[in-house]
Each structure stands twice: as C-alpha cells, then as structure tokens.
Amino acid sequence: ALSRASVEYPYERNYLLEEGDNRLASKALPYDSVNNFSLWTLHNRRVADQQKPLAVVYARNTDDVVKATMCAVEAQLPVMGQSGRHSYLAYCLQDCMLINTYLMKAVTINEQKGTAALGAGLNLGQAYTYLDKAGFTIPGGTCPTVGLAGLTLGGGKGILIRMEGMLVDKLIGVDAVLSNGTLVRATSQNHSDLLWLAKGG
C-alpha cells in the first residue's frame, strides 16, 4: 500500500534504468558474473571468506526462480536469496544455491487502489524514484542502495515511521516460490499464513 506524497530524491540519475537495460546505472555495483563475486561480500566482511555458494543464479523473473529452486531441490542444495548486498546474516556458509533477484525490477502502480507491485530486485533508490513519478511513496529508509525486498521483510524502519509506520506494515502481498517449485501469491485472503510469515510472524 502506498502513501500519497512526494519525496524529492537526489539520486534519480544514478539509480534509474534505461528502458530495456538490465544493468544497474553508473554508481551501483554490478553482479554481472561470478568473477565479481567479491562484490557480493562488500557489506558483510565478517564472513567474507566463508560463503560457499555452489551456484549463483541471476533470476530475471519468477519463472527463473521456480526453475532454480526445483534444480536446487533435485540436487539437495539449500536455497538462499539475495537482493541488495546489505544483509548481515551469514547465509551460504555451507554449499548452497544463491538466487540473486537484482534483475527483477518490474514496477506496476495501481493509482486507483493506491498499491504497487515492486520487483524483488529494486533497491530503495529505484523504488522511491519510480513511485515519486506517480506521486506516491513508501515509508522506507534513507540508504538508496539497500535492497527493497530485504528492507521490507526486515521491518523497514525509515524516516516516515511516525506518520506511516514500518514498511512491512504496508505489505499486502508477496509472490513466493515454495520448495516444491510452486509459485503462490500470498495475501490476506490466499495463503495468509505465508503473508503472516513474511511480515515477521
């Protein structure tokens, strides 16, 4: 759910994508190959030499996530997710498949309902910029490079918290891939237990 507001965001040129361009703009760090794997540990140096993903999948859409998940289950590998590089949790300390969602940047805004579907690969700066163009905002934080998915599922404390609450309070649905490869949309009406889990239980 969105708020009607305008947030002047100074990083627009650095975080917007050109139409059809799947790469982040100039000041963002790319994840373009496993050769750039060192960038993945940039914000979590305490376990920098311990992460051991056997495969890193750069999903472009939910179908890619489904296929990667089914492959990992067949290979009996745990699946870990990543969107923005800022996580301090020690994921992939054993063999795993890491699914990176940073290419999943679709934005669909329903102005009549005041809602938006925001891709799991957006960072906060991109989300603010796209929403602001439609006259909306979300109660997010101030760091433009933090991944929106992790920020939301982690609670999302931000500068509008007194007016709008936590970012996770605005979460009304998630698309989730289950371990058997099934894609479900969790809302208060369907798979409400998964939405409850996504919001912290």
| Residue 110's pLDDT band (cuts 50, 70, 90) | very high
**Could you give the CA distance from residue 171 to residue 201 in angstroms, rounded to a whole number?**
13
**pLDDT surpasses 50 at 7:** no
| pLDDT of 102 | 84
Q: What is the mean pLDDT of residues 129-150?
A: 89
- The percentage of the chain sitting over the pLDDT mark of 70, rounded to a whole number, equals 71
Nearest partner of 166 among 146, 139, 187, 128, judged by Cα: 139
**pLDDT surpasses 80 at 126:** yes
| pLDDT of 122 | 92
Sign of CA dihedral 197, 127, 185, 178: negative
Residues 6+ apart with CB under 8 A from 51: 40, 41, 91, 92, 93
Chain mean pLDDT for the chain: 77
pLDDT tens, residue by residue, 22-36 = 443 333 333 333 444
pLDDT tens, residue by residue, 94-109 = 888 888 898 899 999 9
